[in-house]
Each structure stands twice: as structure tokens, then as C-alpha cells.
């Protein structure tokens, strides 16, 4: 059963995840200065690592909800990833668009597996 405290914590923790996503994305994007969406890539790969780690910890249901769904769910961004990939395609940058999909999938799965492995070791 979900308590009122959990319901109250979801938007707060989700808000933290969203703010951190913004900060990480902007920091990486400013440093690279490239047309390729490195900021979103870093956010999503680090989010996959974190979610794998949380899953490996086998947390109680309420903590898993807060860490996985509220924080990591708002930190990572599928919609921005697809929007930026679409933008690359519209700009006829097909190589970078395909690379964005492939690299994100491969590194995301590897990061999640690594996070899971680390989480199960604690």
C-alpha cells in the first residue's frame, strides 16, 4: 500500500531528477559544443547505470518506486532522445541519427547491466 508520504515524495524526488537532468545536459552540451546530442546521451547512459544499480539493490517497494520511477524516471528522457534523433534526420545527418540510436541502445544496455552487477554486490 502506498502511503501519503510516498505520494508526497514522488513529485519532490522527481523534481530533483528533472533538475539534475537539466544541469547535466547543459553542462555536457556546453563543453562539447557539438550538434550531436551528447548531453542527452550522457544523461540516459548514466540513468541506465543508476537504474540497474537500484534494481540490483533489491530495495523495498516504496524505496524502489521513489528511486527508480520518481528520480531516474524524471532524470532520463526518452522523448528528448527521439526528438533529437528526429532533428538529426531532418537535417540530413543520417549517420549521427543512426549512431544516436545505436550508441544509446548499446551503451544503455551495457550501463544497466553494469549497474545491476554493482548493485547485487552490495
For residue 43, what are the domain limits?
3-29+37-120
* pLDDT at residue number 2: 76
* pLDDT at residue number 16: 98
pTM: 0.94
What φ, ψ does residue 108 adopt, rounded to 5°? -65, -45
Average confidence (pLDDT) over 102-122: 98
Are the C-beta atoms of 48 and 76 separated by less than 8 Å? Answer: yes
**How is residue 51 written as a grid cell?**
537504474
**Considering its fold, how many domains does the chain have in total?**
1
Determine the number of helices (DSSP H) and then strands (DSSP E) in the chain: 6, 0
* pLDDT at residue number 1: 63
- Summarised one tens digit per residue, pLDDT across range 34-66 is 999 999 999 999 999 999 999 999 899 999 999
Average model confidence (pLDDT) for the chain? Answer: 96
- Summarised one tens digit per residue, pLDDT across range 66-92 is 999 999 999 999 999 999 999 999 999
What residue numbers does the annotated binding site for Na(+) cover? 73, 76
Are the C-beta atoms of 67 and 59 separated by less than 8 Å? Answer: yes
Amino acid at each position: 500500500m502506498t502511503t501519503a508520504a510516498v505520494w508526497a515524495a514522488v513529485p519532490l524526488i522527481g523534481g530533483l531528477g528533472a533538475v539534475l537532468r537539466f544541469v547535466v545536459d547543459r553542462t555536457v552540451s556546453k563543453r562539447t559544443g557539438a550538434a550531436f546530442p551528447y548531453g542527452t546521451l550522457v544523461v540516459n547512459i548514466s540513468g541506465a547505470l543508476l537504474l540497474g544499480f537500484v534494481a540490483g539493490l533489491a530495495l523495498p517497494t516504496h524505496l524502489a518506486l521513489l528511486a527508480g520511477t520518481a528520480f531516474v524516471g524524471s532524470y532520463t528522457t526518452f522523448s528528448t532522445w527521439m526528438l533529437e534523433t528526429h532533428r538529426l534526420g531532418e537535417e540530413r545527418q543520417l549517420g549521427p541519427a543512426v549512431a544516436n540510436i545505436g550508441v544509446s541502445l548499446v551503451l544503455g544496455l551495457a550501463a544497466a547491466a553494469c549497474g545491476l552487477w554493482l548493485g547485487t554486490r552490495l
